[in-house]
Chain A
Amino acid sequence: GEQVEQLPSILRVQEGSSASINCTYENSASNYFPWYKQEPGENPKLIIDIRSNMERKQTQGLIVLLDKKAKRFSLHITDTQPGDSAMYFCAASASSGSWQLIFGSGTQLTVMP
């Protein structure tokens, strides 16, 4: 089946620095790319998303970039804080016209004070 590759699986950064997570997808028809944050014992929650008609989106210290040619998208967290420590998942729609999402394998981000 379709896959979404996510790297790195573990990421440790110093407080105040930026963190970047990269994902690649297989289906060129995918058109929706959300990012979810999951804190320990909690459910995944949407933090930002981007659609295929955009290359860049920014909100509250989060930046997502989409390179459709390379089938690659990324999340950048600027000025990280300890509260950003969590599991992050990228996802891509299974194919254009489909409501299903395929998730990456997750990145465990730890922000060290």
Chain B
Amino acid sequence: ETAVFQTPNYHVTQVGNEVSFNCKQTLGHDTMYWYKQDSKKLLKIMFSYNNKQLIVNETVPRRFSPQSSDKAHLNLRIKSVEPEDSAVYLCASSSSLGGRSAETLYFGSGTRLTVL
């Protein structure tokens, strides 16, 4: 099966803790992303990673950092979680076609983070 796989599905933690979410895609894509979907369902891009080039949304707090070992994996680490980090984190991938154009995003099933 080819898709975008995320773990865990849910995570509950306390303020100040560190969390890590994993994402792996088996679609052969060269670009991966992390999106945050808040309680109002707004989808905000956090990071995109293509050929070792990281593009960061400047509104993302520094406690968030992506970690990639290869083009099929893009994990997300949050160093010290805050209550406002409670959201669904969606990993996605696409083929950039050499950066010439945007292509279809394939989303993972998401990780729902609850910060107490």
Contact of A100 among B42, B43, B55 (CB under 8 A): B55
Q: Is A43 an interface residue (CB 8 A)?
A: yes
Interface segment, one of A55-63, A74-82, A87-95: A87-95
Which chain A residues lie closer than 8 Å to B18 at the CB level? none
Chain B residues with CB under 8 A of A93: 101-102
Please, how many residues of chain B have a CB less than 8 angstroms from a CB on the other chain?
A: 31
Task: Return chain B residues, CB-CB under 8 Å to A46.
Answer: 104-106
Q: Which residues of chain A are within 8 angstroms of B108 by Cβ–Cβ distance?
A: 43
Which residues from A are CB-within-8-Å of B13? none
From B6, which residue of chain A is reached at the shortest CB distance? A43
Restricting to B22-69, which residues have a CB under 8 Å from any CB of A? 31, 33, 35, 40-45, 48, 50, 55, 57-59
Residue of B nearest to A101 (CB): B102
Q: For residue B86, give the distance in angstroms from its CB to the closest CB of chain A.
A: 17
Q: Is B75 an interface residue (CB 8 A)?
A: no
Q: Are B50 and A99 in contact (CB under 8 A)?
A: yes
A66 smallest CB distance to B (angstroms): 14
Cβ A99 vs Cβ B42 within 8 A: no
- For B112, give the chain A residue with the smallest CB separation: A41
In this assembly, does A73 line the interface, its C-beta being within 8 Å of a C-beta of chain B? no
Q: A99 contacts B104, CB within 8 Å?
A: no
Residues in A whose Cβ lies below 8 Å from that of B55: 100
Residue of B nearest to A30 (CB): B102
Contact A101 B41 (CB under 8 A): no
Q: What is the distance, in angstroms, from A2's C-beta to the closest C-beta of chain B?
A: 11
A54 CB → nearest B CB, Å = 14
| Chain A min CB distance to B92 (Å) | 9
Contact A102 B45, beta carbon cutoff 8 Å: yes
B99 proximity list for chain A (CB < 8 A): 97-99
5 sample A-B contacts, Cβ–Cβ < 8 Å, listed by A number: A43-B110, A51-B101, A99-B102, A101-B102, A102-B45
